Amino acid sequence: MKILLNKGRNKSLSSYLNYYAIEGNIHIMDNHLGAIAPLYEFGNKLKEMIFYHIDRHYDLGGLNDYHEEYFLGQKQIPEIKQLDSVKSIRGCNIFLWDNYIHLFYSRFDEKVKETYFITHQTTQFFWDWDNFQELTPFQLINHHPYDEKGIIFNLDIDFFFHQTKEGDICEAFSEKYLEEFQNWFTNNKDRFELIIIALSPECCGGWPKAIGMFNKLFPELEIAL
């Protein structure tokens, strides 16, 4: 595994990227904002794409006109280690953990044939692109991606956690569901041309919980975090 960035197990918040590693077509990061790098590269290469977003959140906020204006004016994405320091003329970070999807679609929406969102449906939702479907977590494990090129698997480990009214962060699914999800991923992973996995430790109750869930779900990837 090639580690491009490792600042230690620090807070990610909305715009700090501490960890980024690549193993083949698999990109692993602590902050989902890092997904813009492989998505941008992938979007430039392919004519058609299918996008699966599996996350506790929609990740469809935090986008302003000057974010999009700056992004669309760039010929390439900054290096991984610079993503969390790129700011607009107004002093705001361009790349955030919840605006990378909007940025990606603002540039490549005509190339995306289908979009699937699998979330907890707990945050504000806004979407104005075509060919969109929303699946429940249980519909996902019975869903079979087509044998087509250009399938993007975009997962946030916080999908497997939820926050109680008291503020505690606990696992959201049974062991049976985790096993079924693992089987679904194993059966379909060869169909995924790009695999993005965000750890989002703060939304999982800390780094140990996030890494523990990753290791539980993906032992066949043989990636040690």
Percentage of residues of the chain with pLDDT beyond 70: 97
Number of domains in the chain: 1
pLDDT at 124: 65
Residues near 9 by Cβ (< 8 Å), separated by ≥ 6? Answer: 18, 201, 207
User: What is the arithmetic mean of pLDDT over 123-148?
Assistant: 85
Classify residue 172 as exposed, middle or buried by CB count within 10 Å of its CB (0-12, 13-18, 19+). Answer: middle
40 in a structural domain: yes
181 in a structural domain: no
Q: What is the DSSP string of 106-132?
A: HHHGGGEEEEEEE----S------SSE
Whether pTM > 0.75 for this model: the answer is: yes
The helix or strand, by DSSP H or E, that contains position 40, with its residue range, turns out to be: helix 36-45
Nearest Cα residue to 93 out of 151, 31, 21 = 31
In whole angstroms, give the CA distance from residue 219 to residue 25.
16
Range(s) of the domain holding residue 45: 2-174+192-221
pLDDT at 153: 98
Per DSSP, 14 falls in state: T
187 in a structural domain: no
pLDDT at 88: 78
179 in a structural domain: no
Per-residue tokens: 45: 């290469």
- Name the more confident of 123 and 214: 214
- Name the more confident of 153 and 67: 153
111 in a structural domain: yes
